[in-house]
């Protein structure tokens, strides 16, 4: 069993960067990646840097500001596609892909990114592009808003609930947690739950992440396309 102190040491790089707002935010994300978001605190980060909590307050006012900054950091790496290339279904597919790629860097912090999507410039640009594509496709203001929100929720769920991720669990415990879930499904009575037993491994693991995310994106795109066709038929 790995002790908490050993785990904290493993989460830290060999050479500490100078204490700065960026360094504090990066450390918060690193802790969340290995121990879950619940492990992030001002006191914990201060301990990792070998300073008092008061030293961090020069860079972030409190934990809420730290979490907001972590959410912004996740989103700010997104490269927004140009309006000339982000058109129709292909444009929506591009937007979902770049959002998912950003979220995948820190899957345990998707709730932070969700809270900041309309609070930071990159998130607003992403939402603006999605709404423009949907409005240009003929959807009403309300429909476009609903579908843009569904796109965000699709990305969040795909990343946060990826089979085998278990991001709320400390990293060294994740394999054991997943093994327990897999065994529980395998041990179900096969005469009552034949498909659950057969799919136990696939439900608890994700051997091909690229395929997993691509299929999730295509499911959303297919839904939008179906609604667009229905709208045309109804209007006709």
Q: Which residue has the higher pLDDT, 236 or 172?
A: 172
pLDDT in tens, 210-233: 999 999 999 999 999 999 988 766
Whether residue 119 is found in the same domain as residue 214: yes
**194 domain-assigned:** yes
Q: Is the pLDDT of residue 10 over 50?
A: no
Residue 28: which domain range? Answer: 8-60
Whether residue 224 is found in the same domain as residue 129: yes
User: Both tokens of residue 234?
Assistant: 């109804």
pLDDT in tens, 102-159: 999 999 999 999 999 999 999 999 999 999 999 999 999 999 999 999 999 999 999 9
Whether residue 116 is found in the same domain as residue 185: no
Whether residue 224 is found in the same domain as residue 144: yes
Whether residue 117 is found in the same domain as residue 50: no
pLDDT band at 1 (very low <50, low <70, confident <90, very high): very low
Q: How many percent of the chain have pLDDT more than 70?
A: 91
CATH number at residue 53: 1.10.10.60
Residue carrying the six token digits 């790089």: 13
Whether residue 31 is found in the same domain as residue 113: no
**67 domain-assigned:** no
Q: Which residues neighbour 40 within 8 Å (Cβ) at sequence distance 6 or greater? A: 28, 31, 32, 63, 66, 67, 70
Q: Shortest CA distance to 116 belongs to which of 92, 99, 135? A: 99
Distance CA 184, CA 167 (A): 20
**106 domain-assigned:** yes
Whether residue 143 is found in the same domain as residue 158: yes
pTM (predicted TM-score): 0.86
**2 domain-assigned:** no
* Per-residue confidence (pLDDT) for residue 4, from 0 to 100: 46
Whether residue 119 is found in the same domain as residue 230: yes
For the chain, how many structural domains are there in total? Answer: 3
Element of type H or E holding 190: none
| CA within 13 Å, CB half, 191 | 0
Q: What's the first-to-final CA gap in the chain, in angstroms?
A: 66
User: Both tokens of residue 209?
Assistant: 């992440």
Q: Shortest CA distance to 74 belongs to which of 170, 160, 162, 16? A: 160
Whether residue 145 is found in the same domain as residue 34: no
**68 domain-assigned:** no
């Amino acid at each position: 069993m790995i002790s908490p102190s050993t785990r904290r040491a493993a989460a830290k790089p060999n050479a500490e960067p100078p204490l700065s707002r960026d360094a504090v935010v990066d450390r918060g994300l690193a802790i969340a990646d290995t121990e879950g978001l619940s492990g992030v605190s001002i006191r914990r980060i201060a301990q990792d840097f070998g300073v008092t909590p008061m030293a961090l307050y020069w860079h972030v006012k409190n934990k809420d500001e730290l979490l907001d900054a972590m959410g912004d950091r996740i989103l700010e790496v997104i490269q927004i596609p140009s309006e000339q290339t982000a058109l129709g279904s292909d444009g929506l597919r591009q937007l979902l892909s770049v959002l998912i790629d950003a979220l995948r860097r820190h899957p345990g912090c998707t709730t932070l990114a969700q809270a900041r999507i309309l609070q930071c410039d990159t998130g607003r640009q992403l939402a603006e592009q999605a709404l423009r594509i949907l409005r240009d496709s003929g959807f009403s203001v309300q429909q476009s808003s609903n579908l843009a929100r569904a796109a965000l929720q699709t990305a969040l769920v795909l990343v946060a609930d990826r089979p085998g991720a278990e991001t709320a669990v400390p990293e060294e415990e994740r394999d054991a947690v997943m093994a327990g879930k897999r065994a529980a499904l395998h041990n179900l009575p096969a005469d009552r739950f034949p498909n659950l037993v057969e799919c136990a491994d696939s439900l608890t693991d994700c051997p091909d992440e690229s395929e997993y995310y691509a299929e999730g994106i295509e499911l959303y795109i297919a839904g939008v396309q179906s609604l667009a066709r229905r709208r045309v038929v109804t209007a006709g």
